[in-house]
Amino acid sequence: MAAAILFAALSALSNACSAILQRLAVTSHAPEARSVWRTAIDLVRQPMWLLGAFFLVGTFVFQALALYFGPLSVVQPVLVLELIFTLGLRVFLLHDGIARRTWAGALTICVGLGAFLIVASPAAGAAVPHASQWILAVGLRAAAVAVLLLLARYGSPARRAALFGAATAVVWSVDAAFVKEAVDVLAHGGLPGLLTSWSLYALIATGVLGTVLLQGAYAAGPLAASQATLLIVDPLVSISLGIELFGDQLASGPGYVAGDVVSLAVLAAGVVMLSIWAPPVMTAEQASQLRHGSRHRSEELADADAVA
């Protein structure tokens, strides 16, 4: 279980790097009157976005390793650490000033997450889901995504970003379930078994869809709004999928259930606190400074090598 938590934390860190870089790519994009989908397609041409995509691949690899060693109900809640890593990266890369109350929100997330893992004591199940279970589980989540995207067509940028984030979270949760299934197939059937398994192509499809929705969330409004709903909805949907499909088990009993509810509520409160007290919105100037700073450091290293 320790390996699952470690790789899940690395996945959260890699995703935070991706979020920072891709959001900066969005902010540096020329503000034109284009649709969310057109903007998302145009971003592929930007080097900063591509570097963010590289970290997104790392996110997937670390998540797959985490799901190999542990259940959905452990791995996905740990991914909420992404918000805390995002704060740290903003301090390190962008030199943003982070208020004490913002760090208090980060501490609240850690408390809620730790309490859930201790109280719930999630354990991997031994169930092998049947086709009918997959169809029902995925169908219900697909309907939820459709409703969220319909609602995301209207409202303020923050509301639209939040709804896009929630839709992305549901898709990522389903994708994580497909990854879990694919990892199990790979472990038992090797690469030939994986290449002939439906789960590989299902996770690719949901991965692409989730990535497109994520870019839509970045382009629709504030990063804090999309990240908050994404990181609240993802653990909840993933826990339900882990129990529903793989038979994951949480500590039972009224006291344990109450503890689970309270700890998840504390975790969600911490996410909301960080969203409300988030640092200023990243700007195109910061993106330019980051690019110029990276180029300047590269030139300094090249000069040092030449002298040596």
Q: What is the pLDDT of residues 111-137, one digit of tens each?
A: 998 898 889 888 877 778 889 999 999
Cα 166 to the center of its chain, rounded Å? 11
Question: Is the pLDDT score of 28 beyond 70?
Answer: no
Q: What is the pLDDT of residue 307?
A: 41
CA distances from 212 to 44, 92, 168, 262 (A): 11, 28, 9, 33
Q: What is the pLDDT of residue 39?
A: 60
Q: What is the pLDDT of residue 289?
A: 56
Residue type, 295: R
Lowest mean pLDDT among 135-144, 245-254, 282-291: 282-291
- Alpha-helix runs per DSSP H in 29-99: 36-43, 47-69, 72-78, 82-94
CA distances from 71 to 37, 57, 202 (A): 34, 21, 19
Question: How much is the mean pLDDT over the chain?
Answer: 81
More confident call, 25 vs 78: 78
Q: What is the pLDDT of residues 131-188, one digit of tens each?
A: 999 999 999 999 999 999 999 888 888 888 889 999 999 999 999 999 999 988 888 8
Is pTM beyond 0.75 here? no
Question: Is the pLDDT score of 270 beyond 70?
Answer: yes
Question: What is the C-alpha to C-alpha distance for residues 207 and 308, in angstroms, rounded to an integer?
Answer: 45
Percent of the chain having pLDDT more than 90?
A: 21
Residue closest to 231 by CA, chosen among 115, 123, 110, 80? 80
Q: What is the pLDDT of residues 42-87, one digit of tens each?
A: 666 667 778 888 888 898 889 889 988 888 888 888 888 887 888 8
CA angle 101, 106, 111 (to 5 degrees): 120
